[in-house]
A and B are shown apart, each in its own frame.
Chain A
Amino acid sequence: MSMTDLLYARAQMGLSLAFHIVFAAAGVALPVLMVLSDWKARRTGDADYVKLSHKLAKGTAILFAVGAVSGTVLSFELGLLWPDFMGQYGEVIGLPFSLEGVAFFTEAIFLGIYLYGRERVSPGLHLFSGIMVAVSGAASAFFVTLVNVFMNDPSGFVATPDGPTQVQPLVAMFSPGWPYQTAHVLLSCYQASAFAMAGIHAFVLLRHPGAAFHRKALSVALPLACVTALLQPLVGDLSAKHVAKAQPVKLAAMESHFETERGAPLRLGGVTVPKALSILAFGDPDAEVRGLNEFPRDTWPPVAKVHAAFQVMVATGSAMALLSLLTLLYRWRKKAWPAGRKMMWAWLISGPMGLVALEAGWLVTEWGRQPWIVRGFMRTADAVTPVPHLAAPFWTFTLVYLFLGIVVVALLKRQVAGTLPDRDEGPVTGRGVKGDDAHVH
């Protein structure tokens, strides 16, 4: 095994996850938005909400399908790229993977009923199917995050040179810190999707102010966006406090904190806030924060990358929280969601921030765990496949993902284009609106 093959394997895994995570997040959150607008449509009989729920259903269908195939690729890649990891620890983390499989199964079944069954099942069963899609999507993300929790903070087995023994699957499934990381991840899925949706409709509203359909769409996205963006810093703080205790070397890398000190300051960009890191990490201004110098050099994560990714996550997260606070204040004072150009620009700019924060946060976790694949027990370099020429699959999948990404963006763009006021302002009447059938045969 050459070093370059290890890098290609890591790059392929990273790329596949970075790609999949976008669709997975949408698969968790869009069903909630879809059901919300469906429910509003039922309650108000408003044609725009009907149209919105149809559009969201189509968006969900496209994103879910790409998420499903890229997720299938990932389950193969776990073995194809890291056979020794799966060969030794497959049994320890098999339980959350199996339950994730059950959740994914349920999601696919009810999505089929929801998408194709609108005219075949009762309205109640239809709405129920949508709720089941949303619930099982969340369950699926929850279980798969537990696997990552285990890789960061393994438990539930006794290590021997021949691999783990005395496996306790339930202990391994709920490794320490699980409530923080799962909550952080689930929130980020809702937040990223709600911000993306708000950004898209803000963009249209800047060009077509007052377009009723898009005002309503925004009013569905904004509550979820605001609530999640305000909760996320609190959950993130709890998560960081756990990392400070359980993975001090990761915290040191996140903060680029080289020397152990008491009353450690926080360095953000060029600004230094005295004692802030000690407060944030341990809730005590004089707490000792261990620096990288305390750990053997060959167990350091890539400090610059982890630190940069962490800064990006915190910066985008703070910006989103601030905007949400402003938006909620506006809503409270004016009894309406904001519609002014400045606020629309702000929502447009923050549209991609949820995804940026999600990817950055995931990089913090993954880079921060290096050089381990199972922290403290198995190094990434020892898990990689002996198969040579890993550059070939890496470049192949890079091109495939690029292609799929472009197609998905084009398809979604056409979905949004179908709602522009100058092209189509008529109400939805049955199957009357052009391009509004889910499946064009």
Chain B
Amino acid sequence: MSTEAMLGFVMAGAFVLYALFGGADFGGGVWDLFASGPRKAEQRTLIARAMGPVWEVNHVWLIVGMVLMFAGFPRAFAALSVALHVPLTLLMLGIVFRGAAFTFRAYDSRGYAAERQWGLVFSIASVVAPLLLGMCVGAVASGDIRVEGRVVVSGFFASWLSPFAWAVGVLALTLFAFLAAVYLTHEAHTEGLREDFRRRALGAGVAVFLAALAVLLLARGGAPRVWEGLLRSPFALVLHGATAVAAVTAFALLWTRRFQWARLAAAFQAGLIVLGWAASQYPYLVVPDITLSGAASSTSTQRVLLVAVVIGALTVVPSIALLFRVFRPRPEGTSTPGPHA
């Protein structure tokens, strides 16, 4: 396997992990916004407790993906930075307000009103950011970003405001909300809360299906390369088949209240959707003008990057395992002690 294919694979892996963890974080913010019913406050507390220790870690996957892109595929990074300047700037604002508000909410000691104000900022940013993220992905896949030499010639708006890009944005939003709801069924300590998030997960699962259908239908006209990629290669077909199986399984497990397994199936489903996107546009990084090999940095850089990835994995993986072990949901009956520093 060529170094650029390996790096491309690692980069796709970082984006999968960002979707699974960072995505669930965004989804937590969505459910904070739509908290309702008799257990409104408890829902929000559960979300904050589940996210508190891990939210910063969950977002480092985005940095990892970005660093790999500009070090491994600098030309693609430069072109995307120009073509997607506007949505990426807005996404940055979303990320800033989301992270800052989440922390300020935890440390603002002025009481409930202040907490709710920060909560509102946090949750609105959590809805806007995934939408923008999905729109950027949609733009990259659509083939609407055109690059001649080093110059982006397709303007700063059209590519990410197309119906296809919007549909991908909605898919990202619903997918993240779905993931969060499924994860939270397992984190919940009471029957009531679990049922709240089960209902939300089932609803979001239907929304994911509808959004994915819309993306597929719009891809024919809006992203011909992806449409072809989705249907052409046998490898892609296997991926999509597996995604469908995971989706149905997750739904069935939720239905029958096997929450721990449902969580695993939902993660598989989301991971496969991201991988399916990557596979369907391979070997392009930015469809149709920039390929992996065309944007790749020199072999010497790619080699040391792969070494850095290994060093990173050896450092980060055991640490993350420790983090998730420390904060794994406690068995039923034992209430989680309040975080305390």
Contacts and interface: CB of A to CB of B under 8 A. Distances in A.
A86 B100 contact: no
A427 interface: no
Main SS of the interface on chain A? helix
Nearest to B320: A109
Interface string B184-204: 000000000000000000000
Contacts of B97: 400
Q: Which of A70, A111, A170, A441 has the most chain B CB atoms inside 10 A of its CB? A: A441
Given A112-B54, A441-B49, A76 B88 contact: yes
A66 B311 contact: no
B70 A78 contact: yes
A105 B57 contact: yes
B340 A98 contact: no
Interface in B297-341: 297-298, 300-301, 304-305, 308-309, 311-312, 315-316, 319-320, 322-323, 326-327, 337-341
Interface string A93-120: 1110111011011101111111111111
Nearest to B68: A98
Give the size range of A's interface with the partner: 35 or more
A68 B99 contact: yes
B258 interface: no
Interface stretch (B58-66, B235-243, B279-287): B58-66
B78 A79 contact: yes
B96 interface: yes
A249 interface: no
A102 B308 contact: yes
A439 B151 CA distance: 48
A75 B67 contact: yes
A407 B82 CA distance: 32
A58 interface: yes
A438 B320 contact: no
Contact of B341 (A57, A97, A169): A57
B64 A69 contact: no
A68 B300 CA distance: 30
A110 B322 CA distance: 9
A326 interface: no
B67 A97 contact: yes
Contact of B85 (A80, A132, A440): A80
Interface string B266-294: 00000000000000000000000000000
Contact of A387 (B72, B85, B107): B85
Interface string B88-115: 1101110111011011101111100001
Interface residues of B, number: 75
B76 to A, nearest CB: 9
Nearest to A163: B74
B45 A441 contact: yes
Contacts of A69: 95-96, 99-100
A437 interface: yes
A404 interface: yes
A90 interface: yes
A90 B79 CA distance: 13
A91 B298 contact: yes
A92 B304 CA distance: 11
B156 interface: yes
A167 B302 CA distance: 10
B77 interface: yes
A109 B57 CA distance: 6
Nearest to B118: A407
A390 B85 CA distance: 10
B103 A98 contact: no
B225 interface: no
A385 B82 contact: yes
A109 B340 CA distance: 16
Contact of A86 (B57, B70, B109): B70
A91 B312 contact: no
A268 interface: no
Nearest to A386: B82
B221 interface: no
A404 B100 contact: yes
Given A54-B341, A75-B63, A440-B107, A385 B53 contact: no
Interface string A369-411: 0000000000000000111000001001000100010010001
B156 to A, nearest CB: 6
Nearest to A437: B340
A120 B340 CA distance: 10
A113 B63 contact: no
Nearest to A16: B92
Given A79-B80, A90-B74, A108-B60, A113 B341 contact: no
B36 interface: no
Contact of A411 (B68, B77, B80, B107): B107
A312 B298 CA distance: 42
B75 A101 contact: no
A86 B78 contact: yes
A68 B110 CA distance: 24
B109 A414 contact: yes
Interface of A: 54, 57-58, 61-62, 64-66, 68-70, 72-73, 75-80, 83-84, 86-95, 97-99, 101-102, 104-106, 108-121, 132, 165-170, 385-387, 393, 396, 400, 404, 407, 411, 414-415, 418, 431, 435, 437-441
18 contacts: A62-B104, A69-B99, A72-B63, A72-B92, A72-B99, A83-B79, A83-B82, A98-B309, A101-B312, A104-B60, A108-B60, A116-B341, A117-B53, A118-B340, A120-B327, A386-B151, A407-B104, A438-B107
Interface of B: 45, 48-49, 52-54, 56-57, 59-60, 62-64, 66-68, 70-72, 74-75, 77-82, 85-86, 88-89, 91-93, 95-97, 99-100, 102-104, 106-110, 115, 150-152, 156, 297-298, 300-301, 304-305, 308-309, 311-312, 315-316, 319-320, 322-323, 326-327, 337-341
Which 7 A-B residue pairs are closest in the complex by CB-CB distance? A94-B71, A87-B78, A438-B341, A91-B297, A79-B81, A90-B74, A65-B103
Given A87-B79, A101-B64, 12 more contacts: A66-B100, A83-B79, A88-B74, A88-B78, A94-B301, A99-B308, A117-B326, A387-B86, A400-B96, A438-B341, A440-B108, A441-B106
